[in-house]
Amino acid sequence: MKSTITVLFVLAMLVSSTQTFRHVYVKWIMPNTSVLDEFKDQVDTDIESAKTIADLVELYRGAHQRVKRYEADKENPDIEDRQRRHKEPYKTEMKIKGEIESREHDKSQIFKLNFFWATGIFSLLLGVFTFRKLNKWLGLSGIIIGFTEMLCWTSPLFHNRISSKSYDSLLSLKLSYSIITCLILISFWLLLEKGTLLKDIKKT
């Protein structure tokens, strides 16, 4: 069992440290500017300036009204669905709508991250208790499940998004949990080596 736990610990530390370094790079080091920034559409600038979803909703309301006025005028040509992403007034409406959906997704991810990371902590504690009091292999399963939950939910984000408050909050939370997970792993191993956490492990 000791050799099994050693292998799992090394793999978990590899994943945890790699994810932490990735979050640090994206949050503080990765360049966020481009020489093409001066050619951004006005709608892109407006979206970046919108601090909240409510601000985006106001932008979307105006864009949606322009679409309605365009469609109400029978003299305007019909634009096929596949072309609307590249032609006004649909282009602006679809961009804002996409950003609203992305930020709503971020909020949902923050809730899930908090819940499942906490579930990982609970599984870890339950696994340690089960290992010491009931059954070693069953307890080890709980420990593995706990660390797996914490590592999976601190995995890196896709970074092709427009920066926003909700995105930055999600990134910061993932970084914080990733660092905490790494520290828990190290503490777990040190206590394991001292024989104070999982007793009699060398005998199994």
- Tell me the C-alpha to C-alpha distance, in Å, between residue 175 and each of 8, 13, 31: 22, 15, 18
Give the three-class secondary structure for 160.
coil
Among candidates 133, 109, 120, which has minimal Cα distance to 12?
120
Q: What is the per-residue pLDDT for 203?
A: 53
* Average pLDDT of the residues in 112-129: 96
- Is pLDDT at 204 greater than 60 in this prediction? no
Q: What is the per-residue pLDDT for 201?
A: 62
At residue 185, what is the residue type? Answer: L
Q: What is the per-residue pLDDT for 101?
A: 93
Task: Please check whether residue 177 is in contact with residue 150, taking contact to mean a CB–CB distance below 8 angstroms.
Answer: yes
d(CA 57, CA 67): 15
pLDDT tens-digit series, residues 130-188: 998 899 889 999 999 999 999 999 998 776 556 677 888 999 999 999 999 999 999 99
Q: What is the per-residue pLDDT for 16?
A: 95
Q: How many CB atoms lie within 10 A of CB 50?
A: 22
Among candidates 7, 5, 93, 14, which has minimal Cα distance to 56?
93
- Is pLDDT at 88 greater than 90 in this prediction? yes
- Is pLDDT at 24 greater than 70 in this prediction? yes
pLDDT tens-digit series, residues 54-76: 999 999 999 999 999 999 999 99
At residue 162, what is the residue type? Answer: I
At residue 59, what is the residue type? Answer: L
Average pLDDT, the chain: 89
Is the model's pTM score more than 0.75?
Answer: yes
